[in-house]
Amino acid sequence: MTLTASPDQSRLKSADTRQTILEARGLTKSFRGFVAVDKVDLKIQRGGIHALIGPNGAGKTTVFNLLTRFIPPTSGNILLFGEDITRQSAHALARHGVVRSFQISATFPHLSVIENLKIAVQRPSVSPGRFWQSSRSLAHLEERAHHFLELVELKKFAQVAAGELPYGHKRALELATTLATDPKVMLLDEPTQGLGIEEVDHITQLIKRFSKERTVLMVEHNMRMVAAIADRISVLRYGRIIAEGSYDEVSRNPQVIEAYLGSKAKKENQQENKQGNKQ
Amino acid sequence: MRNTWLIAGLIVVIGAAAPFSGLYPLFLMKCMALAIFAIAFNFFTGYVGLLSIGHAAFYGMGAYFGGYAIKTYGVSTEIALLIGMMTGAVLGLLFGLLAIRRRGIYFAMITLALAQMVYFFCVQAPFTGAEDGLQRIPRGKLFGLIDLSNDLSMYYFTLLLLVLSIVVVQYLVTAPFGQVLKAIRDNEPRAVSLGYDVQRYKLTAFVLSAALAGGAGSLKAMVLSLAGLPDVHWTNSGAVILMCLLGGLGTALGPVVGAVMVVLLETELASIGVVKIGSLSLDLSTKVPIVIGVIFMVTVLLFRKGIVGEIQSLIDGYHRRRAEKSAT
Ligand SMILES: Nc1ncnc2c1ncn2[C@@H]1O[C@H](COP(=O)(O)OP(=O)(O)OP(=O)(O)O)[C@@H](O)[C@H]1O
Ligand SMILES: [Mg+2]
């Protein structure tokens, strides 16, 4: 691990006085006896970027699934603005502004790029109980959809089916649809995985820009990117948080160094079967 | 929506001319009632992507309840249709509440099991007339004014309902509601993460589909003056699946084409009777299901997307190539 950039100092200082938005208390998940997430305590503070890192299989995606209620925890609680949301449904949580992305790019492949964005921006204005609603009644949202289209420089591809986009564009579209829901907290699972250097820079800039007014929790293997933009880092190993702090603090932690060096060989192996079997 | 008007226009023209081509209005009306049934099925399975094997229950119960109301209480035609739709909707809601959270084969199995329960209820219940069915159902008067006992008047009324069904369903699948259904089918977890209550969307689509199926059932009861056990039998659910797969699942015209094909095959094969191939003599009229099965297999193997689906992708491919050519 090399230190190529250090986080904005002024942001770091104010971190402790910031308000906690999302909190996990003793969050635990076991899959038929196998404990994937073990009594995790996590406080995500308003504004800025919190990175969740750790070797493959550490339980990062499972933490995301728990925080967004995609799977129920075995024990522990989740709080949003201090309110217990452990029993809420996944879609209700999204409506409260906790919106996630997925480790494998998640678009609607048979819808065009602009339709993908419309699905995101129209959500508060539609409901199944009003199935007769016309597209004309949502015309005022077009502008907003196009705004996000331009944000990720996909204007040229507006009418292309999302499934036919090159991989990098798919990830950009996914980020744009997440942004378009106007989330309070955005949970990104490896947003730069599989991207070229230029695309990584672009996505990094977008996330950084977005995080100014809102909050990002991000799983990321790209250490250069984590070092560059994360304000706070939690390190997960075998389902436990083993270190937390700034990049400097975390990268000097002997346990973290051991976790990363120790699992290096294993990681190389896992990289190959990774694409297919994760959501 | 432009395509929809084109399709609707096409059906109006063909439909208006058809009775003068020597085809019996009664035969055509039977096709059209089944086509509406297929449109209803297609709206759910074609756009939500879950296979229902329970639609015969909605259709058959719609036929019984609509038929019973017009026969016993002498309600007007449109009220009988509404009763059929309500019957379908209520049953659809019950089925849906029990099944909609299941996926794949589990959903299919639960709808089949529930439909079987409805079937056995119909075998036992006194008002269905059991094996004889509900016979001599009158067609009544539309809005209490227009007498539909004449085949040709009933025919044009049925044609109107068919076109209406196509337009309404096409409207729904292209409206924001339908876009969300497509999104859910494409990537359900993503739809959830954007805040969509996907179960309620699926349930709504299922109830709407069941309501239209119930309406089609009551229409059929009035067209043929008969509602019977074959309408609620699971093979009727099978038939509607067959129609949509043959014509093209998830297309606007597929269910109509499929319904016409299946009814044509059934009646033609039954009337051909004995066929002699060399020394082999085959009585086709007793082997209708086998022959339809073979035709079905061949079609599905040759045209994966169904007949209309294949034509549509040919046209789409042509347009895309032209767009690419003009772009370079
Ligand atoms: N649904 C499940 N059933 C059983 N085991 C599971 C399930 N989901 C995850 N696991 C296991 O939990 C552990 C943590 O998995 P998780 O996907 O959270 O890791 P991760 O940190 O996201 O890894 P990666 O960096 O490879 O994405 C793994 O050992 C995995 O096999
Ligand atoms: Mg993961």
Supply the ipTM of this predicted assembly. 0.83
Write down the pLDDT at residue A9.
43
Ligand 1 atom showing the smallest separation from residue A63 Cα: 18
Q: Please tell me what DSSP assigns to residue A19.
A: P
On whether any CB of chain A is under 8 Å from the CB of B316, the answer is: no
Which residue type sits at A272?
Answer: E
CA of A216 to the centre of ligand 1 (A): 21
Cα of A59 from ligand 1 centre, angstroms: 5
Banded pLDDT at B198 (limits 50, 70, 90)? very high
Quick check: A97 pLDDT over 80?
yes
Of A27, A7, A47, A84, the residue nearest A185 (C-alpha): A47
Residues 6+ apart with CB under 8 A from A145: A114, A117, A118, A120, A121, A180
Q: Pick A133's closest partner by Cβ from B176, B182, B193.
A: B176
pLDDT for residue B270 is more than 90: no
Q: Helices B77-99 and B104-124 sit at what angle, rounded to 10 degrees?
A: 130
Task: Provide the pLDDT for residue A7.
Answer: 45
pLDDT band at A275 (very low <50, low <70, confident <90, very high): very low
Alpha helices in chain A, H assignment, sequence order:
9-13, 60-67, 90-95, 113-122, 142-151, 167-180, 197-211, 223-229, 247-252, 254-262, 264-277
| pTM score, whole prediction | 0.86
Query: Is the distance from CB of A71 to CB of A126 less than 8 angstroms?
Result: no
Amino acid residing at B159: L
CA within 13 Å, CB half, A229: 26
- Which of A1, A173, A14 lies closest to A102, judged by CA? A173
pLDDT at position A252: 82
Give A179's contacts in chain B (Cβ within 8 Å).
none
Residue pLDDT, tens place only, A194-229 = 888 888 888 898 888 888 888 999 998 888 888 888
Question: Quick check: A273 pLDDT over 60?
Answer: no
* A223 close to A39: Cβ distance less than 8 angstroms: no
pLDDT value of residue A90: 93
Mean pLDDT, range A103-117, rounded to an integer:
90
Chain segment B33-92, per-residue pLDDT in tens: 999 999 999 999 999 999 999 999 999 999 999 999 998 898 888 999 999 999 999 999
pLDDT (0 to 100) of residue A18 = 64
Amino acid A30: pLDDT: 92
Provide CB contacts within 8 A for B235, sequence distance 6+. B56
| Mean local confidence (pLDDT), B125-139 | 81
Q: Are A44 and A79 in contact (CB under 8 A)?
A: no
Q: What is the dihedral of CA A24, A30, A35, A38, to 10 degrees?
A: 10
**Residue A278 above 50 pLDDT?**
no
pLDDT of residue A8: 46
The answer to whether residue A11 scores a pLDDT higher than 70 is no
Give the position of tokens 């970027």: A49
Question: Does the domain at residues B26-327 carry the CATH identifier 1.10.3470?
Answer: yes
Average pLDDT over residues B309-319: 86
Quickly state the pLDDT bin for A264 (edges 50, 70, 90). low
DSSP state of B46: I
- Is A99 touching B (CB cutoff 8 A)? yes
CA of A279 to the centre of ligand 1 (A): 10
Burial of B323 (0-12, 13-18, 19+ CB in 10 A): exposed
- CB nearest to B190's CB, from A95, A106, A124: A106
Chain B, residues 181-200, CB within 8 A of chain A, namely 182-183, 186-187, 189-198, 200
A222-259 pLDDT, tens digit each = 888 888 888 999 999 998 988 888 888 888 878 877 77
In the prediction, which pLDDT does B127 show? 81
Asked whether the beta carbons of residue A70 and residue B189 sit closer than 8 angstroms, the reply is yes
List the single residue in B with minimal CA-CA distance to A134.
B175
Cβ–Cβ gap A91/B204 under 8 Å: no
CB contacts under 8 A, A 136-165 vs B, are 138
pLDDT recorded at residue A276: 44
Contacts of B280 (CB under 8 A, 6+ apart): none
User: Ligand 1 site: residues with CB under 6 angstroms?
Assistant: A 31, 36, 54, 56-62, 103, 274, 278
CA A187 to centroid of ligand 2, rounded, Å: 12
Q: What angle do CA A192, A194, A200 make, to 5 degrees?
A: 35
Among A27, A28, A31, say which to mutate for ligand 1: greatest number of ligand atoms within 8 Å of CB: A31
* A185-189 β-sheet, strand order: A98-100, A185-189, A215-219, A48-53, A232-237, A240-245
Q: How far is A123 from chain B (nearest CA, A)?
A: 7
